[in-house]
Chain A
Amino acid sequence: MELDPDEVFADDEDELESASYQGKEATKELVVYLVDASPKMFSTTCQSDNGDDESHFHVAVSCIAQCLKTQIINSSYDELAICFFNTREKKNIQDLNGVYVFNVADREYLDRPTARLIKEFDYIEESFSKLIGSQYGILAGSRNNSLYNALWVAQALLRKGSTKTADKRILLFTNEDDPFGSINGITKKDMIRTTLQRAKDAQELGISIELLPLNRPNEEFNASHFYAELLGLEDDDLNQFMPSALMRFNDLKNQLRKRIFKKRKVRRITFTIANALSIELNTYALIRPTVPGQITWLDSVTNLPLKTERSFVCTDTGTLLQEPPKQSQSYKNEDIKFSSHELSEIKRISTGHLRLLGFKPLSCLKDYHNLRPSTFLFPSDEEVAGSTCVFIALHKSMLKLKRYAVAFYGSSTHPQLVALIAQDEILTGGGQVEPPGMHMIYLPYSDDIRHTEEVHTYTGGTAPRATDDHVKKATALMRRIDLKEFSVCQFANPALQRHYAMVQAMALDEDEVPEIADETLPDAEGMARPGVVKALEEFKLSIYGENYEEEVDLAVGGKGNALAKKRKAEDAAKESTNYDWSELADNGKLKDLTVPELKLYLTAHSLPVAGKKELLINRILSHLGK
């Protein structure tokens, strides 16, 4: 019997997830980067973005380096191996010729990425010829087949982990579209057959093979020579293959550093539509603020992690409290004590599930009815068969009648009224943009809503209202500065990206932190377009008239404020002459004065007046030089 430590230690949550019916969701990705290191990869070059020539080998390697740096942040639990073929040296488990698995210390061949791997891989090009060497492995007369060997090694590396939980892939980088071109006859046929069989075997084991071809100058990579069959491409796919492969190449290089969360339901809830009619839903967190990873406190001497211990100490007796203490609220000069049981009883006002209360037109949901990020609901037939059908029926009716549902969500800590908005599926060429289902929006209570816009009223009903002309200028402006294709998630979080860059620089001992562009700044170029400038100017003119600058200065009140301050200081100076400060200080009598009296001195000498009395006295003493 084999004991898989992964299984014994797996979180309960993972167990549940794998048992879930929701299709098979792989929880882990295992990738082998297979890089052709034949001399051809070094000799052919292509133009890089900035016009320099770079070898195909460089293109492939830098693409992988970029992937690693992204992956270590996005999904550091995914495992990978880097493997070169057509090499002089060999290093692999099966001891096959022409295949070299690149690795660093403290790491298995197929393992999580580490800082060391990334760092050493950055220098691979310099050390390559010495350490690994390039040598084309498929030659007439020899029985060697380096491509076959490479696929075999990759397949062996990917034996780890079951296909149920892991998504296994081989990414193949090459510029050779006809690997067996140099040989002829029966040997060639035989080699092609065995290589294809090897690939087929791998695919049958649940490993997908992806080809990332590099175009030689004046000669497009022709997949139909050999690779079409290996990848199982039919006619139509074949035409589509090159453009999509190139796109994929770019995607790989330009990935956003973004922590990837595995799809996982937050909880399973029961949605009661009416008495004795309850369906089952799963909730998902589709939108949540991403924060820089958790902080681990380290000992700065040894850089070893520390563990935190929290203890409750009774201030009266100094004894350590074992169980969580009771809690109290001071009320009518008394401490009213609550046990944790009583507190949770107070919060338990409903059965703990979602309960339908009714429907309202979408216009009833105001923009200020929001408190927290929404939660996504999707039906599940796992426990209650038929749930999906009921859900879809309601979903369709709500969309058709433009209604949202109001329900009470009785969670144990945050029982709350919620709005359920039906969202239809939105698909674009790239795939699903908005999944079908309902979004649960947490509604505020009257206690949570403030009437702050009514704080500053214009008594007598004279609040300024824009005239039609003003509005016309405003709409003209809006037409000019229109973000047509705006989507909420088009900006990367600049602080988070800076954080990731910083951590990467520290981990890899890079000399400087790469500058991260702040995408959230306004588009200065676009704003400077004559049409926009004119529309802005007209809007300004219609509202402020000719004297915009003066109006703004006046409103900021810079001058007025300074004047008031000056007058105050003069007054204070006058008043403060009534006291003999140095004598008071000498006799220690400053503490007998009141705070306003002390402040007279401070304002008169334009010192800060903030702080407690003691601080004020100290400030005066130090100003007096005592």
Chain B
Amino acid sequence: MARNKEALLLLIDVGPSMHTVLPEVEKVCSMLVQKKLIFGKYDDVGVVIFGTEDTDNELTNEVGGYEHVVVLNHLKVVDGDLIKVLEQLPRGTVDGDFLDAIVVGMDMLIKKFGQTIKGKKRLCLITDATHPIKDPFEGTKQDQVSTIAEQMFAHGMKMECIVYRGQQDMDGNTSVIEENDILLDIISKMTSSRKVHVENSTSLLGALRTRNISPVTIYRGELELSSEVKVLVWVYKKTSEEKFPTLKKYSDKAPETDKLATHEVKVEFEYKKVDDPSKVVPPEQRIKGYRYGPQVVPISSAEWEAVKFKPEKGVKLLGFTDASNIMRHYYMKDVNVVIAQPGNMKAALAVSALARGMKEMNKVAIVRCVWRQGQANVVIGVLSPNISERDDVPDSFYFNVVPFAEDVREFQFPSFSNLPSSMLPNNEQQEAADNLVKMLELSPTGKAECLQPDFTPNPVLERFYRYLELKSRHLDAAVPPLDDTLKKITEPDSDLLSHSKPVIDGFRKLFELKENPKLKKSSRRLLREKPSGSNEERDDPGNIVDAEAVNFIEHASSFKVEKIGESTPVQDFESMMLRRDGADWVSKAIADMKSIIMQLVTDSFEGDNFQKVLECLIALRKGCILEQRRILLVSTSFLHLKMSC
């Protein structure tokens, strides 16, 4: 059994008022189960729905009551069938009572796990909480809920609430909604768990944490205000990109009859001498070289070790500065959060005092960090205050890395004011722009902010997991199109667009855009930056349409060229380069091309062949780029050429 085994119970409201969002609920719950199948294979998951016509739960059988609550799936280790269950949640007919469902869920968790796996028992309630819960036999609803919350806490359970409030249901029953909110707040406060409100279906997809990552500190130690005053802190990651899953390479070379085949692919790296590619250099004979001008300087790791920069572990305060001195675009990496050592009241007080002081004065702190002993470099970062809104969560700092002097490239750009007036907007145009900015507001007053990062799921991952499930059922399924809920992330909201149509049209009319067709063709290709550091943005080369490469393949004629002739050397060369029926063709093509070029140069009379030579050279160069490894060979041939010119 896995050490981090978790038990999760989904409590889903399927009453009539929830019907509109149930498709999204189905999706987000299936996604959760899917991720568990990959990342938490040993976790238990159960599903309880409420607001149904029927009743089916143990508590009803034992003590009666608890109507309209159905246990759809008992707590058991996740399996693929559960997804099928969640994909077709029954639609209920009555207004559900979420408290009944919570009690049923708690009962299931206690019966199965008792006092074990504390803190790893999770309830997840998805409801709109717009309908009143039943009055208790004695005491108030508040008392009842408090008792339940105490029980939850005593058994180490956590409960997440996702309260969906669409735009439609704000009619009349506000008192009920308020009451329910207070009740749910009691639970969330007493069990230290989250309660979130979402207003649209896209946010609903992002609201549920579909993958549970146990947090790991990257630093535990002192925050040195000075050599005398130190505050004990822990540092966690606040944001960390959830990457596209790393897939395993798969080999289909093994015969199908071989049932024991692993289908694994081993990636081998070999280091070979440039002048003699048949010789493989063993790892111990390799040494790292660094560029110094045109030379490469070999430096052994031992020499390196002796002089390399070795900073001491620690986080030191350099000083405070105005928040406006650190511009937002200087933040370099994902963000950390710095909290006081848990349980250390004095440290928490110190962090709180500093954070609140910074907030009040609009300051940030500059710190120098070495998270681990033996870290290769220091990190300069900025601490900004994070004042907690919840009483049970202590204040903390966000930590962002800022660049070193070497990391900032001082490119100059023309001032807007120096541009010719034809490129500057006139008053009318400026007004239209102002209106546009005002109109396309995503955070209108009185309404929830749209596309809040905290509630916006990654559409690529959503799509990948959905496709994975699809493929597990139908081997050759096609990639499904992006559904409407996810499209709201990649495209502007159609309601907002139609609402602000006059403003957009006005804007469009005032500005004249003209395409320059000449340039469009010649320099269509997008530039890619040369990777100079590990963190540069990378792009899949396969996706950038390389016009030349395409041309190259189109040129390939159906017949097989075996020799490059003088009449059409370029075409011959390209066809030969594309011959894949033997490994030698590429080398032969380059060798032949070389001799053709030399011949053309020698035979040329007053440069009459030079145009052709140039074409050949260009073709040769293109071919070499595609073949990468031959470039060196060709360069030497150029030297010959230069000399004979």
Q: A461 in the interface, Cβ–Cβ < 8 Å?
A: yes
CB <8 Å contact, A328 and B263: yes
Asked whether, in the complex, the Cβ of B380 is within 8 Å of the Cβ of A491, the reply is: yes
Distance, CA A266 to CA B209, complexed state (A): 35
A372 at the interface (CB under 8 A from B): yes
Residues of A within 8 A of B329 (CB): 286-287, 374, 376, 421, 423, 439, 441
Instruction: Give min CB distance, B422 to chain A, whole Å.
Output: 8
Q: With A448-B239, A489-B403 as known contacts, state yes or no: A268 contacts B458, CB within 8 Å.
A: no
Let me know if A289 and B403 touch, CB within 8 A: yes
Closest to B479 in A: A345
Given contacts A295-B290, A453-B396, 5 further A-B pairs with CB under 8 A are: A115-B293, A273-B436, A279-B513, A336-B472, A356-B492
Scoring B residues 324 to 365 as 1 if CB is less than 8 Å from chain A, else 0, what string do you get? 011111111111010101111111111011111110110100
Can you list 21 A-B pairs, Cβ within 8 angstroms, ordered by A?
A1-B607, A258-B406, A307-B272, A319-B253, A328-B247, A336-B468, A370-B334, A382-B519, A386-B512, A393-B430, A406-B442, A415-B460, A423-B329, A425-B416, A452-B337, A474-B354, A488-B408, A493-B405, A494-B309, A507-B297, A522-B317
Q: How far is the CA of A411 from the CA of B325 in the complex (A)?
A: 31
- The answer on a CB contact under 8 Å between A300 and B285 is yes
| Distance in angstroms between the alpha carbons of A364 and B449 in the assembled complex | 8
If A314-B251, A486-B325, A494-B377 touch, does A383 touch B299 (CB 8 Å cutoff)? Answer: no
Residues from chain A with Cβ under 8 Å of B269 in the complex:
308-310
Cβ of B292: which chain A residues have Cβ within 8 Å of it?
A: 72-73, 76, 115, 503-504, 506-507
**B449 near A360 (CB under 8 angstroms)?**
yes
Task: Indicate if the CB atoms of A315 and B238 lie closer than 8 Å.
Answer: no
Q: What is the minimal beta-carbon distance from B234 to any residue of chain A, in angstroms?
A: 8
Q: What are the residues of chain B within 8 A of A445 when measuring CB–CB?
A: 206, 242, 453, 456-458, 461
A114 contact set on B, CB distance < 8 A: 293-295
A457–B194 Cα gap in the complex (Å)? Answer: 11
Q: Flag whether A297 is at the interface (Cβ < 8 A).
A: yes
Alpha-carbon distance between A516 and B308 when the two chains are bound, in angstroms: 11
- Residue picked from B227, B281, B641, most chain A C-beta under 10 Å: B281
Q: Which chain A residues (341-375) contact chain B, with CB distance < 8 Å?
A: 342-350, 355-361, 364-375
> How far in angstroms is the closest Cβ of chain B from A73?
8
Q: How far is the CA of A311 from the CA of B294 in the complex (A)?
A: 30
Q: Across the interface, which residues of A come within 8 angstroms of B540, CB to CB?
A: 344, 347, 412-413
Contact B536 A436 (CB under 8 A): no
A-chain residues with CB within 8 Å of residue B411 when the two chains form the complex: 263, 284, 286, 435
- The reply on A335 being an interface residue by CB < 8 A is yes
- Residues of chain A within 8 A (CB-CB) of B618 are 8
A309 touching B404, Cβ below 8 Å: no
Task: Decide: A455 and B266 in contact? CB cutoff 8 A.
Answer: no
B-side contacts of A544, CB under 8 Å: 346, 350
A-side contacts of B356, CB under 8 Å: 466, 470-471, 474
Q: Among A371, A403, A471, A513, which residue has its beta carbon within 8 angstroms of that of B241?
A: A371
Q: Which A residues are in CB contact (< 8 Å) with B530?
A: 13
Is residue A219 within 8 Å, beta carbon to beta carbon, of the partner chain?
Answer: no
A3 to B640, CA, bound (A): 13
Q: Tell me the chain B residues, 358-378 only, with Cβ under 8 Å from chain A.
A: 358, 360-361, 363, 366, 368, 376-378
Docked pose: A16 CA to B358 CA in angstroms: 48
B497: interface (CB < 8 Å) = yes
User: Chain B 386-416, CB within 8 Å of chain A: the 1/0 string?
Assistant: 1010111111101010111111110111111
Complex contact B527–A16 (CB within 8 A): yes
Q: How far is the CB of B274 from chain A (nearest CB, A)?
A: 5
Q: Does A562 contact B (CB under 8 A)?
A: no
Q: Which of A32-40, A95-103, A133-141, A550-558 binds B?
A: A550-558
Instruction: Tell me if B316 counts as interface (CB < 8 A to partner A).
Output: yes
**Chain B residues near A555 (CB-CB < 8 A):** 232, 341, 344, 346-347
Q: For the complex, is A604 an interface residue (Cβ under 8 Å from B)? A: no
A305 within 8 A of B: yes
Does A316 make an interface contact (CB < 8 A)? yes
Q: Counting CB contacts under 8 A, is B136 at the interface? A: no
Contact across chains for A413 and B289 when beta carbons are under 8 A apart: no
Tell me which of B46-54, B101-109, B170-178, B503-511 binds A.
B503-511
- In the bound assembly, the distance between CA atoms of A51 and B290 in angstroms comes to 37
Question: Which of A148-156, A394-402, A615-623 makes up part of the contact surface?
Answer: A394-402
Contacts of A343 in B (CB 8 A): 247
Are A543 and B341 in contact (CB-based, < 8 A)?
no
- The answer to the question of A584 belonging to the interface, with a C-beta cut-off of 8 Å to chain B, is no
The stretch among B62-70, B124-132, B254-262, B558-566 that forms the contact with chain A is B254-262
A447 with B457: CB separation less than 8 A: yes
| Contacting residue for B423 out of A19, A330, A392, A506, CB 8 A | A392
- CB-nearest residue of chain B relative to A118? B293
**Smallest Cβ-Cβ distance to B415: which chain A residue:** A425
User: How many residues of A are counted as interface, with CB atoms below 8 angstroms from the partner's CB atoms?
Assistant: 233
Say yes or no for B135: interface residue by CB 8 A criterion: no
The interface bits of chain A over 436-455 (1 if a CB of B lies within 8 angstroms of the residue's CB, else 0) are: 11010101111111111111
Interface range, B side: 35 or more
Contact digits for A499-523, partner B, Cβ 8 Å, 1 yes 0 no? 1001110110000010010101111
A58 to chain B, nearest CB (A): 24
Closest residue of chain A to B487 (Cβ to Cβ) is A349
Within 8 A of A (CB), among B227-247: 227-230, 232, 236-242, 244-245, 247
Chain B: minimal CB distance from A313 (Å)? 5
Contacts of A489 in B (CB 8 A): 403-405, 407-408
Is the C-beta of A128 less than 8 angstroms from some C-beta in chain B? no
- A130 within 8 A of partner (CB): no
Within 8 A of B (CB), among A516-567: 516, 518, 520-523, 526-527, 532-533, 536-537, 539-540, 542-544, 548, 551-552, 555-556
Q: How far does the alpha carbon of A73 sit from the alpha carbon of B357 in the complex, in Å?
A: 44
Say yes or no: A359 contacts B80, CB within 8 Å: no
Q: Which chain B residues lie closer than 8 Å to A269 at the CB level? A: 526
Q: Chain B residues with Cβ under 8 A from A425's Cβ? A: 415-417
List, in ascending order, chain B residues with CB within 8 A of A316's CB: 251, 253-254, 258, 261-264
Given contact pairs A312-B249, A315-B264, A411 touches B539 in the complex (Cβ within 8 A): yes
Residue of B nearest to A547 (CB): B346
CA distance A507 to B303 in the complex (A): 13
Residue in chain B with minimal CB distance to A472:
B357
Q: Are A289 and B332 in contact (CB under 8 A)?
A: yes
Considering the complex, which residues of chain B in the window 515-549 have a beta carbon less than 8 Å from any beta carbon of chain A? 515-516, 519-520, 523, 525-530, 532-540, 542-544
Q: Are A321 and B239 in contact (CB under 8 A)?
A: no
Q: Does B447 contact A (CB under 8 A)?
A: no
Q: Is the CB of A3 within 8 A of B228?
A: no
Contact, CB under 8 Å: B441 / A360:
yes
Minimum CB–CB distance from A166 to chain B (whole Å) comes to 18
Is B328's CB under 8 angstroms from A421's CB? yes
CA distance A513 to B299 in the complex (A): 13
Chain B contacts of A513 at CB under 8 A? 307
Would you call B265 an interface residue if the criterion is a C-beta within 8 Å of the partner chain's C-beta atoms? yes
B291 at the A interface (CB under 8 A): yes
| Inter-chain contact B642/A310, CB cutoff 8 Å | no
Alpha-carbon distance between A321 and B254 when the two chains are bound, in angstroms:
12
7 tightest Cβ-Cβ pairs between the two chains A and B: A474-B357, A461-B391, A439-B329, A327-B247, A446-B206, A466-B353, A393-B433
A397 touches B436 (CB 8 A): yes
B419 on the interface (CB 8 Å rule)?
Answer: yes
**Whole-angstrom distance between the Cβ of A477 and the nearest chain B Cβ:** 7
- CB atoms of A274 and B497 under 8 A apart: yes
Kindly state whether residue A586 has any CB partner on chain B within 8 Å: no
Enumerate chain A residues within 8 angstroms of B330, measured Cβ to Cβ: 287, 374, 488
> Is B629 among interface residues, defined by CB-CB distance under 8 A?
yes
Q: Once the chains bind, are B360 and A475 in contact (CB under 8 Å)?
A: yes
B residues 188-224 in Cβ contact with A at 8 Å: 189-192, 194, 206-207, 209-211, 213, 215, 224
From B80, B191, B434, B645, residue with most partner A Cβ within 10 Å: B434
Residues A293 and B291 in contact, CB atoms below 8 Å apart: yes
| Contact among B210, B392, B422 with A462 in the assembled complex (CB-CB below 8 Å) | B392
| Given A453-B388, A478-B363, A504-B292: A372 and B535 interface contact (C-beta under 8 Å) | yes
